[in-house]
Amino acid sequence: MIGYCNIKKGISYNNPGLILNALLRNFNSKPDFIEELIPNFPRKVPLITDRKITTRELIYQNINRRIFQEFGFDHENDTPNYSRNMMILTDKICNLSFILKEIEQLSTKTGYKLFFGSDFAENKKQTRIIRNLQSIEDSIRNGEIVILFKNEQLYEPLYDLLNQNYSKKDDNIFAKISFGNIVSKIRIDPKFRLIVISDKSRAYNIESPAILNRFEKYLLTSEEFITRNEFIRFYQKQKEIIQNICKFADITEEKLLVSYHPDLLPSLVTKLPTNTF
């Protein structure tokens, strides 16, 4: 992506904003990898750690960009102005409600439709799949955000859509949806977006690399949902207290707090009433 922009648009490889944006859009779900990668960049590449881009900002950019113009580039903001389909990863299913709320807040579009699947056989029946595909077709035409959760059986019928394999006629963009020998050619509203939400362990242990590579992947933890400054300060203070107690007693968080999980404290903070402070 960086090389293409450089050739077509005359963008320098030494553009720190472009490099950082490309790294985060491709490897946001692997924060440890990014931390290891950045220090190993050649010295001629400017330091890119000075620019902080949050996961919420990247998700906002993805949802509200165009999806049709390949390799477009926004010179003013040093960021691509097109989007791939997005996969949001989470460590906890309890974060689903927060993720949906985030999508609703960050989107400038009109509404979303959630397709909540399961591993039960009922969810994989042809009648259920056909009903879901018909509903997805309506959302595509109406420019809604389609959100898939545990609906891997829809990936094959939505193959062209997931790969953003579009065709154009006049000023309209089309994609095919196939199920068996039934093929529908659907006009895509420019506001349409496709988002997959998945458990992180499920995505990397079950999904094939070919599926994962179709998406921009973003890891959302409970910490990302703490946005108000006073809540952030409160969370950081409580986190510091727990760490100090563990250090003083020479124990781990798991031994200090029953059923401890890294998302425990931020989850509790996000549930505080807005008038707490």
> Mean pLDDT score of the chain, rounded to an integer?
75
Statement to judge: residues 212 and 152 lie in one domain: yes
For residue 114, what are the domain limits?
Answer: 85-224
As a residue count, the chain comes to 277
Cα–Cα distance measured from residue 184 to residue 164, given in angstroms and rounded to the nearest whole number: 15
- Strand ranges (DSSP E) for the chain? 85-90, 112-116, 145-149, 167-169, 172-179, 182-187, 193-199, 215-219
Angle, CA of 1, 85 and 157, to the nearest 5° = 125
In this prediction, residue 110 carries a pLDDT of 65
For residue 16, how many other CB atoms are within 10 A of its CB? 17
Q: What is the pTM of this model?
A: 0.70
Statement to judge: residues 162 and 217 lie in one domain: yes
Structural domain includes residue 276: no
Structural domain includes residue 277: no
Cα–Cα distance measured from residue 217 to residue 20, given in angstroms and rounded to the nearest whole number: 15
pLDDT tens-place string over residues 226-271: 766 777 788 888 888 998 999 999 998 888 888 777 777 877 777 7
Cα–Cα distance measured from residue 144 to residue 138, given in angstroms and rounded to the nearest whole number: 9
pLDDT tens-place string over residues 171-201: 888 889 988 888 889 998 888 888 998 887 7
Structural domain includes residue 235: yes
Is the pLDDT assigned to residue 77 strictly greater than 50? no
Cα–Cα distance measured from residue 180 to residue 77, given in angstroms and rounded to the nearest whole number: 44
Final residue in a domain of this structure, among 191, 208, 224: 224
In this prediction, residue 70 carries a pLDDT of 42
Identify which has the larger pLDDT, 198 or 221. 198
In this prediction, residue 94 carries a pLDDT of 65
Identify which has the larger pLDDT, 29 or 186. 186
Structural domain includes residue 275: no
Cα–Cα distance measured from residue 118 to residue 11, given in angstroms and rounded to the nearest whole number: 45
Statement to judge: residues 151 and 170 lie in one domain: yes
- Residues of 191-220 as b/e, b for ≥16 C-beta within 10 angstroms? bbbbbbbbbbeebeeebeeebbebbbbbbb
Cα–Cα distance measured from residue 179 to residue 154, given in angstroms and rounded to the nearest whole number: 9
Cα–Cα distance measured from residue 80 to residue 268, given in angstroms and rounded to the nearest whole number: 36
In this prediction, residue 80 carries a pLDDT of 43
Most confident of the ranges 106-115, 174-183, 204-213: 174-183
Statement to judge: residues 60 and 105 lie in one domain: no
Statement to judge: residues 113 and 220 lie in one domain: yes
Is the pLDDT assigned to residue 19 strictly greater than 90? no
Domain total of the chain:
3
In this prediction, residue 73 carries a pLDDT of 39
Is the pLDDT assigned to residue 206 strictly greater than 80? no
Report the C-alpha dihedral over residues 167, 173, 178, 183, rounded to 10 degrees: -90
Angle, CA of 208, 93 and 211, to the nearest 5° = 15
